Structure 1
Amino acid sequence: MAAAAPLTVAVTGPTGEIGRAFVRALERSRDVGRVKALGRRQIDPASEGWKKTEYLRGDVLDRDAVEQVVEGADVVVHLAFAIMGAPGENGREVNLTGSRNVFGAAVRAGARRLVYTSSVAAYGFHDDNPPLLTEDVHPRGTDAHAYSKAKAAVERLLSEMTVGTHTSTYVFRPCIVAGPDALMFIGSIPYVQLGDKMPAAVWRLLDAVPVLKPVIPDNGISFQLVHHDDVAAALRAATLGRGRPGIYNLAAHGTLTMRDLADDLGWYAIPVPELAVDVAAEMATRLPFIPEDAQWLNALRVPMLMDVSKAERELRWRPRYGVRETLRATIAEARLSQMLR
Structure 2
Amino acid sequence: MRLIITGATGNVGTSLLNRLRGGSEHLDQNLELVGLARRPPAQVPPYDGLQWHAIDVAHPDAIDLLRPIFEGADAVIHLVWAFQPTHDRNYLRRVGVDGTLAVAAAAEAAGVAHLIHMSSGAVYSPAPGRTVDESAPRGGVPGSVYSVDKAAAEAGLDDFEKNSSVAVTRVRPGFIGQQAAGSELGRYTLPRGIPAGVLKYLPLLPVDRSLAIPAVHADDVADALARMVFARATGAFNLSVDPPLGTDDFGAALHARPVHVPRPLLTLLVDVTWRAHLQPVHRGWIDLAYSVPLLDSARARRELQWAPRYSAQDTLDAAVRGVIGGDAGDSPVLRRRSPFDGTR
**Shared fold by TM > 0.5?**
yes
Q: Tell me the secondary structure at the aligned position of residue 216 of structure 2.
A: strand
Match of 1:149 in 2: 148
Shift of 1:340: 12
Does residue 262 in structure 1 map to residue 226 in structure 2? no
Q: Distance in 1 between matches of 2:129 and 2:288?
A: 15
Q: Distance in 2 between matches of 1:277 and 1:337?
A: 26
Does residue 53 in structure 1 map to residue 33 in structure 2? no
- Structure 2 counterpart of 1:329, which letter? A
Match of 2:300 in 1: 311
Residue 173 of structure 1 contacts residue 249 of structure 1 at CA under 8 Å; is this kept in 2? Answer: yes
- Structure 2 counterpart of 1:325, which letter? D
Q: Tell me the secondary structure at the aligned position of residue 212 of structure 2.
A: coil
Q: Distance in 1 between matches of 2:53 and 2:267?
A: 44
Root-mean-square deviation (CA, aligned residues, Å) is 2.9
Shift of 1:293: 2.0
Shift of 1:318: 1.0
Match of 2:165 in 1: 166
Match of 1:205 in 2: none
Q: How many corresponding residue pairs?
A: 309
Residue 107 of structure 1 contacts residue 162 of structure 1 at CA under 8 Å; is this kept in 2? Answer: no
Q: Alignment identity in percent?
A: 26
Residue 248 of structure 1 contacts residue 310 of structure 1 at CA under 8 Å; is this kept in 2? Answer: yes
Correspondence list, 1:1-341, <5 A: 7-28=1-22, 29-31=27-29, 33-44=31-42, 46-60=43-57, 61=59, 62-84=62-84, 86-88=86-88, 89-124=90-125, 126=126, 128=127, 131-183=130-182, 184-185=184-185, 213-220=202-209, 221-242=211-232, 244-277=233-266, 293-302=282-291, 304-337=293-326
- Provide structure 1 residue ranges, at least 5 long, that are not aligned to the other structure: 1-6, 194-211
- Structure 2 counterpart of 1:167, which letter? V
Residue by residue over 1:207-238, the C-alpha shift from the partner in whole angstroms, topping out at 9 and shown as x without a partner, is xxxxx634321212121221101111111111
Q: Distance in 1 between matches of 2:267 and 2:317?
A: 29
Q: Distance in 2 between matches of 1:27 and 1:41?
A: 21
- Provide structure 2 residue ranges, at least 5 long, that are not aligned to the other structure: 192-200, 328-336, 340-344
Shift of 1:64: 3.7
Label 1:299 to 1:310 Cα distance change in 2 as closer, same or farther (>3 A): same
Label 1:274 to 1:94 Cα distance change in 2 as closer, same or farther (>3 A): closer
Residue 278 of structure 1 contacts residue 301 of structure 1 at CA under 8 Å; is this kept in 2? Answer: no
Label 1:58 to 1:275 Cα distance change in 2 as closer, same or farther (>3 A): closer
Residue by residue over 1:139-170, the C-alpha shift from the partner in whole angstroms, topping out at 9 and shown as x without a partner, is 10133211111000101111211224322111
Higher RCO (CA 8 Å, separation ≥ 6 residues): 2
Label 1:96 to 1:16 Cα distance change in 2 as closer, same or farther (>3 A): same
Q: Distance in 2 between matches of 1:42 and 1:25?
A: 19
Q: Tell me the secondary structure at the aligned position of residue 181 of structure 2.
A: coil
Normalising by structure 2, we get a TM-score of 0.80
Shift of 1:322: 1.0
Normalising by structure 1, we get a TM-score of 0.81
